[in-house]
Amino acid sequence: MNLNYTEEELAFRDEVRAFLDKKLPADIAAKVKGFRRLSKEDHQRWQKILSEQGWYATHWPVEHGGVEWSPVQKHIWDEESSRYGVPRSIPFGVNMVAPVIIRFGNEEQKQTYLPRILSGEDWWCQGYSEPGAGSDLASLKTRAVREGDHYIVNGQKTWTTLGQHANMIFCLVRTNTEVKAQEGISFLLIDMDTPGITVRPIITLEGEHEVNEVFFEDVKVPVENLVGEEDKGWTYAKYLLTYERTGLAGIGLSKAALSHLKELASRRLKNGRPLLEDPTFSQRIAEVEIDLTAAGISNLRIIASVEGGGVPGAESSMLKVKGTEIRQAINDLARRAIGPYALPFVEEELELDYDGEFLSDENAAPLSAQYFNNRKLSIFGGSNEIQKNIVSKMILGL
């Protein structure tokens, strides 16, 4: 196994760097690096730049406008984009529903939806979870009943990330109650403007409107919006989840956050000396750095096995657990580093153009917000406990 980059991969890295030097808008990078709020417009502006470069749909086949990067190229992109302050890609259209449409959708669905995802015309959200169906997703109850050329949908989805911006939602719905739970689920594409849909915000710990509840009351969905076959949605749903879990470890993001933490700890003083030189604090940083280095190598190891024709299996669950624990540990150390400034929260400081008085010169508000927001990392994409169940079964054979 060779974990070093080849000449071609190094050339690709140079190309990525040249592109980011030239095309990444400075205001957007400043927001990402300063952990500030990004608007819908920021995301759309950056997506357009990526699309023009042909680098937006890295998982898609070339015939549909994708670029088919190798796993190593994707890894290089993740590392470099985290370092430069590239906004995270909103995955629901490009990385989640698109692979399902490409694999299981009909020609008309491909012709209709894929170009609109590439152009940014459609903003998708994910309608999987329900109040009684999270880890146990197959127990979902949102009902779709066929009436002529339509399904009539009734029920509720929850935790719908950025659903307030979306004009399309892909939903798992129950089309059959007579069979085993997994066998009566279908995959529907629903226009959010259809009468009967209500979106209500859920405000998270740090005061953000990032997630929503979505209610469906007698919503009429044309049957041509069914993906694949009726009652076969569980297969498509699981296929999508393999895409969702890819990249959740966030190694590149942790590297960027760790270097920010070190810089912060070198400025903050404890007993007149930089916090970074405090034995207890520097030991904590060292522990996290060792874990991150090990996780980075595991990530490369998994990439190398995929390059060699393998399929990422339970190792990605291991990486999700470890990677998200590391990200939360770095957030926790940043919270400790800013000390008392982590407590009072000035929401306006999250805006890049805030010109009021700052609580501290340490970017305290965004760091606190990030600490709270990233509690989600060990919950979504399959909670860490569920990932541990997978590891215990598949790797440890328990």
Residues 184, 187, 193, 199: is their CA dihedral positive or negative? positive
Among 191, 304, 376, 390, binds ligand FAD (CB under 6 A): 376
**260-272: buried (b, 16+ CB within 10 Å) or exposed (e) per residue?**
bbbebbeebeeee
Distance of CA 301 to the CA centre of its chain: 22
Q: Which stretch binds ligand FAD (CB under 6 A): 14-22, 80-88, 154-162, 347-355?
A: 154-162
Q: Is 385 in the site for ligand FAD (CB under 6 A)?
A: yes
- In degrees, rounded to 5, the angle at the alpha carbon of residue 26 between the alpha carbons of residues 124 and 208 is 45
Nearer Cβ to ligand FAD (91/184): 91
* Residue with smaller CB distance to ligand FAD, 240 or 338: 240
Residue of the chain from 44, 70, 154, 161 that contacts ligand FAD (CB under 6 A) = 161
Please give the residues from 76 up to 135 whose contact with ligand FAD meets the rule CB under 6 A: 125-129, 134-135
With CB under 6 A as the contact rule, the residue among 159, 170, 236, 371 that binds ligand FAD is: 159
- Minimum distance from residue 125 beta carbon to ligand FAD (Å): 6
User: Closest distance between ligand FAD and the C-beta of residue 376, in Å?
Assistant: 4
| From 95-103, 157-165, 324-332, 364-372, span contacting ligand FAD (CB under 6 A) | 157-165
**Catalytic residue (choose from 80, 244, 325, 351):** 244
Computed over its alpha carbons, how large is the radius of gyration of the chain? 22
* Neighbouring C-beta atoms of residue 355, cutoff 10 Å: 7
Min separation Cβ 138 and ligand FAD, Å: 12
Measured from the CB of residue 381, what is the shortest distance to ligand FAD in angstroms?
7
CB-side exposure of 105: number of CA atoms within 13 Å? 20
126: which residues sit within 8 A by CB, 6+ positions away? 92, 96, 97, 160, 161, 169, 170
Q: How many residues bind ligand FAD (CB under 6 A)?
A: 18
Q: Catalytic annotation on 130?
A: no
How would DSSP label each residue in 101-119?
Answer: HHHHS-HHHHHHHHHHHHH
Which of these, 169, 265, 142, 156, lies nearest to 200 by C-alpha position?
156
DSSP-based three-state secondary structure for 216: strand
Active site residues: 244
Report the interface residues with ligand FAD, using CB under 6 A: 125-129, 134-135, 159-161, 211, 376, 379-380, 383, 385-386, 389
